[in-house]
Homo-oligomer: A and B are copies of this chain.
Amino acid sequence: MDDLSKYGIVSALQAIGGKWKPHILFILLEKGTKRFGELRRLMPEITQGMLTQQLRELEKDGLVTRVVYQEIPPRVEYSLSTHGKSLEHILREMCAWGFTHEEFKKMDKYASENG
């Protein structure tokens, strides 16, 4: 690994970073194909506009596949692309590290409060 390592990680962070993308990716990873409305129900805090925007970015990055069914009422389904699924291992590792990090911070706080 050379001095340009950072560029790879910057690209990765742009693809999966932000407030909502990890959550969306995990849902599609764990639960498979979902409609727009289902995603909204699974993420009650997100607004319609933000969900649309995040899905568009994930689609543009090739991580999520969007399928539109020309029906009345309209139906749109989202799923992970093959490329998106290649993130599974890294997402799970980040998740695991994050949990140990939370534990570490609690212990660290305890240590600093009690010597």
Chain A residues at the B interface, C-beta cutoff of 8 Å: 1, 3, 5-13, 15, 17, 22-23, 26, 30, 61-62, 83, 86-87, 89-102, 104-105, 108
Complex contact A94–B62 (CB within 8 A): no
Chain A binding surface, main DSSP class: helix
Residues of B within 8 A of A87 (CB): 97
A95 to chain B, nearest CB (A): 4
Bound-complex Cα distance A10 to B95 (A) = 8
Complex contact B90–A11 (CB within 8 A): no
Closest to A42 in B: B3
A113 to chain B, nearest CB (A): 15
Number of copies: 2
A98 to chain B, nearest CB (A): 3
A85 to chain B, nearest CB (A): 12
Residues of B within 8 A of A15 (CB): 98, 101
Contact of A9 among B9, B22, B86, B105 (CB under 8 A): B22
